[in-house]
Amino acid sequence: MKGGKRTGINATLIPTDTAGKYVEQFSFNRANYTVIYLDKDYAIEYDCNEQLGVTNYCVHIMSRTLTIPQEKLEQLKTFSLGLGLNPRNLSFQKTEQFICRNSWENNLRL
């Protein structure tokens, strides 16, 4: 949200020759997306891009439910850290996905 209004940016995911790996194409830059963990309830995706000489990276932990039990979240975080995907040792930041939550709840009613 920006200024109390929903905002968004459209992009295209382009599959690569590697299963579970995609390139996201925005009109202004590209990001590489790789699915690094997937089971029936959870997924972890890693992405990185370089813009103006700065490398940005992020690990997204996703759930089929609105919440993740703390113990499971810790397991998934430990798994991704074990892959060396946090070279700058950034701290974990939880981001509420209200727009996605509303969309997900609406899809359940269909």
Q: Mind listing the domains of the chain with CATH numbers?
A: 12-108 (2.40.128.20)
The two three-digit tokens of residue 90, written as one number: 């950034």
Counting as low any pLDDT under 50, the low residues of the chain are: 1, 6, 104-110
Write down the pLDDT at residue 108: 44
Write down the pLDDT at residue 80: 92
Write down the pLDDT at residue 77: 93
Burial 29-67 (b: 16+ CB within 10 A, else e): eebebbebbeeeebbbbbbebeeeeeeebbbebbeeeee
